[in-house]
Structure 1
Amino acid sequence: MGCGASKVLPEPPKDVQLDLVKKVEPYTGQTTDKYKHFIKDDGSGGKAVDKMGSPSPPQATNNPYPGGPANGHPDPGDPRRNKVAKYRAKFDSRVTAKYDIKALIGRGSFSRVVRVEHKSTKQPYAIKMIETRYREGREVCESELNVLRRVRHTNIIQLIEVFETQERVYMVMELATGGELFDRIIAKGSFTERDATRVLQMVLDGVKYLHTLGITHRDLKPENLLYYHPGSDSKIMITDFGLASTRKKGDECLMKTTCGTPEYIAPEILVRKPYTNAVDMWALGVISYILLSGTMPFEDDNRTRLYRQILKGKYSYSGEPWPSVSNLAKDFVDRVVTVDPNERMTASQALKHPWIVTMAASSSMKNLHRSISQNLLKRASSRCQSTKSAQSTRSSRSTKSNKSRRVRERELRELNLRYQKQ
């Protein structure tokens, strides 16, 4: 539902078994690695992450083109090769000795994700390279590894192995090639409630498993739900555990960090109260609403007004295609998009809801695709225009940004106090 092109990658070969070694290869260079032991097998919780611009990492000095042009520089007339070389040059030689770097497929403030191929098996994988020189990068890396080292579930992205260097960590993971959830819906010619329940059942299975282990994702959203392969029978996989919170068995599962994606953030996080894994179920409720309509239950360009909507928990079933959506589906949404976390369904309870259990067999089988896809595309177009407008006026507003941020923070504090008194 964003402003970028969908990422559909080649399907992994079916005759190659995944090598789930989950091993760590530590840095063995001469320089002392001050971050060598910062990754722990278990942690106390995820951290809030500042996702705004980070300093650019320095280029590695090793030659990415051995036997090629002089001084290790690629042919300036081959832009595609230049781009691949740019990211290959940053990879540790132990990684490139085992994997061929094929293409950049994603980026974040402190990370890059590339598609690679195992040199001996030709199996495709994804490698997430995280810069650990910066505190935020280390926190994201630690949070994600705390989760991925503990999980093994068909609907959760699988960690294969980890390489550690002085300034970076390379996480080798399964490669999801089927694209994002809503890109697939738009591309389909038909989408019914039965299709929606199939998706939600897979996601709920994964979330139930995580919650059983004491893991809270804290950033569930459509962009983090990927299809494993392009086929119609593909499973859904939960990805991106950079904001996840983990706990050891028996620990109190209460979190305090304010984090998440604004449109999917739960009310209890906004009022700065200790919260539980019920925040994941709120996000799933928002996803369910979008899945059935292509629209957001809570949406406003003004962050303060958006938070007010979320705190009130008021949304409507007006407009297309809601008249064609069953009451059972609406009841499911109502039971997870509930302001009081104690009244919200758990993942186990949601899996037993009649709408999920019957796979919408008794619900309306009307094709909702046209309305949903139109709404999704309309929102994507609107967000693209808003992004371009913001970028064009950013320089003129730079002197006002600090003042605006202080105003928003003050308004949010006042809003929190008001709701805490109620």
Structure 2
Amino acid sequence: MGCGTSKVLPEPPTDVQLDLVKKVEPYIGHQNDVYKHFIKEDAVKAGSPSPPRHTYPYSSGHPPNYAEQPEPRKNKVAKYRAKFDPRVTAKYDIKALIGRGSFSRVVRVEHKATKQPFAIKMIETKYREGREVCESELCVLRRVRHTNIIQLIEVFETQERVYMVMELATGGELFDRIIAKGSFTERDATRVLQMVLDGVKYLHTLGITHRDLKPENLLYYHPGTDSKIMITDFGLASARKKGDDCLMKTTCGTPEYIAPEILVRKPYTNSVDMWALGVISYILLSGTMPFEDDNRTRLYRQILKGKYSYSGEPWPSVSNLAKDFIDRLLTVDPGDRMTALQALKHPWVVSMAASSSMKNLHRSISQNLLKRASSRCQSTKSAQSTRSSRSTKSTKSRRGRERELRELNLRYQQQCNG
């Protein structure tokens, strides 16, 4: 949702200076970008669906028409292709750069023999953080086979890079589709959540916790109205083997979706995914965030208290059953939070909102989503313009956030004991 995303990553490597909250910057233009000649931007015609805005990890897109490009551009494209491992280019035609991450690039490719499109995620493993993300993602994707989870096809490994060939999701992000749809009811919301919950239940059964569930990581497989939803981006996922301790301790996730128990540095379980699904459900029905503040300390206070409201449009038109579903997920005590199986059995989901109002919520949801996207984009641009002046303060900033978290943790413990 919006112009940019940020993640709280696992413990930073000692040889790299990182803030506690690591920002993953969106692609905002071609200036000084060595990959600029490999990016296709689609024009949006009036009245047509907006193209997917996500930049990580997968995206729809179409390859540029290289035959019509000037010679210098074609040469640069050729040089970029030449950087791929020969084993990859022997099997796949490289078509277009479609996504970027801190340590990765994603390209759309076509299998030479079958002409089937795929995505290749290239992760730079010469950096420790890149290696950790790659190992985490591979550990998960090699184990999963589910219709609502992005599928790993094959892997090519070199000394400094890993190429992960994956299914290509071309239907765009969840909320891009909602904005373009023109109609959205509670029944539509339950259809989406059923697919996501099926995937999450499967992951939890295998001992896998995603730890970064958010709308940007829920993609439609194809543009058709009957497309399935797919869960993507397992870079922060945790996979435990049978018999292992089910508790996790790493502080990670995306701030607005982080569960309270992660913030207070307590050992936690896969119930953190269910909290994130509560946040997603809230956004799905309103286009707004349950917890939001530009100030991280205030944001975390809201989350720790489980403080959110059902004020403003379209909440008066949303059923009490739908609100009950959200309330049972956005529960501060993880022991009282619904599991994926329990969520699938909730009356609102089982009945596909049959007893709920079938009022079209699209107008309010779209307006709220677009308003937030515009606000986030402005905030991102403002942050980028002042980044250079803040760079020398990064260590102090990180320590300040760590101190704030410790203070919040202490207050939370006092409240619990009181």
Q: CA deviation at 1:79?
A: 6.5
CA distance in 1, matches of 2:71, 2:246: 53
Contact kept in structure 2, 1:48 and 1:243, CA below 8 Å: no
Tell me: CA distance 1:86–1:277, structure 2 relative to 1, closer, same or farther (3 Å): farther
List aligned pairs for 1:42-61, cutoff 5 A.
47-48=10-11, 51=22
List aligned pairs for 1:161-310, cutoff 5 A.
161-310=154-303
CA distance in 2, matches of 1:325, 1:75: 51
CA distance in 2, matches of 1:53, 1:300: 18
* 2:44 corresponds to: none
Tell me: CA distance 1:94–1:328, structure 2 relative to 1, closer, same or farther (3 Å): same
Of residues 61, 70, 76 in structure 2, which corresponds to 1:77?
A: 70
**Aligned residue-pair number:** 363
Of residues 346, 366, 370 in structure 1, which corresponds to 2:339?
A: 346
* 1:16 corresponds to: none
Q: CA deviation at 1:398?
A: 3.0
CA distance in 2, matches of 1:226, 1:90: 29
The secondary structure found in structure 2 opposite 1:127 is strand
CA distance in 1, matches of 2:134, 2:393: 33
CA distance in 2, matches of 1:414, 1:345: 29
The secondary structure found in structure 2 opposite 1:386 is helix
The secondary structure found in structure 1 opposite 2:248 is coil
The secondary structure found in structure 1 opposite 2:172 is coil
The secondary structure found in structure 2 opposite 1:126 is strand
User: Considering only aligned residues, what root-mean-square deviation do their CA atoms show, in Å?
Assistant: 2.0
The secondary structure found in structure 1 opposite 2:97 is strand
Contact kept in structure 2, 1:146 and 1:246, CA below 8 Å: yes
Tell me: CA distance 1:328–1:88, structure 2 relative to 1, closer, same or farther (3 Å): same
User: Which sections of structure 2, spanning at least 5 residues, go unmatched?
Assistant: 13-17, 26-33, 35-66
Correspondence 1:3 to 2:11 = no
Contact kept in structure 2, 1:185 and 1:369, CA below 8 Å: yes
Tell me: CA distance 1:347–1:371, structure 2 relative to 1, closer, same or farther (3 Å): same
The secondary structure found in structure 1 opposite 2:235 is coil
Tell me: CA distance 1:154–1:393, structure 2 relative to 1, closer, same or farther (3 Å): same
User: Which sections of structure 1, spanning at least 5 residues, go unmatched?
Assistant: 5-45, 60-73
1:225-282 Cα deviation digits (max 9, x unpaired): 0000000000000000000000111222100000000000000000000000000000
Of residues 123, 136, 150 in structure 2, which corresponds to 1:130?
A: 123
Return the TM-score normalized by structure 1: 0.83
* 1:370 corresponds to: 363
Tell me: CA distance 1:84–1:344, structure 2 relative to 1, closer, same or farther (3 Å): farther
Identity of aligned residues (%): 90
The secondary structure found in structure 1 opposite 2:333 is coil
The secondary structure found in structure 1 opposite 2:222 is coil
CA distance in 2, matches of 1:285, 1:163: 37
Contact kept in structure 2, 1:267 and 1:310, CA below 8 Å: yes
1:73-126 Cα deviation digits (max 9, x unpaired): x99935753564354232100100100000011111111100000001000000
Structure number with greater Rg is 1
Of residues 86, 92, 97 in structure 2, which corresponds to 1:93?
A: 86
Q: CA deviation at 1:140?
A: 0.6
Correspondence 1:103 to 2:96 = yes
* 1:412 corresponds to: 405
Letter in 1 for 2:341: S
Contact kept in structure 2, 1:178 and 1:226, CA below 8 Å: yes
Tell me: CA distance 1:140–1:290, structure 2 relative to 1, closer, same or farther (3 Å): same
Return the TM-score normalized by structure 2: 0.83
Contact kept in structure 2, 1:47 and 1:139, CA below 8 Å: no
Tell me: CA distance 1:369–1:214, structure 2 relative to 1, closer, same or farther (3 Å): same
Tell me: CA distance 1:360–1:82, structure 2 relative to 1, closer, same or farther (3 Å): farther
Q: CA deviation at 1:138?
A: 0.8
CA distance in 2, matches of 1:247, 1:334: 29
CA distance in 2, matches of 1:362, 1:79: 62
1:280-339 Cα deviation digits (max 9, x unpaired): 000000000000000000000111110000000010000000000000000000000000
Any runs of at least 4 consecutive aligned residues in structure 1 with deviations exceeding 4 A, and if so which?
46-54
CA distance in 2, matches of 1:319, 1:162: 48
Tell me: CA distance 1:258–1:320, structure 2 relative to 1, closer, same or farther (3 Å): same
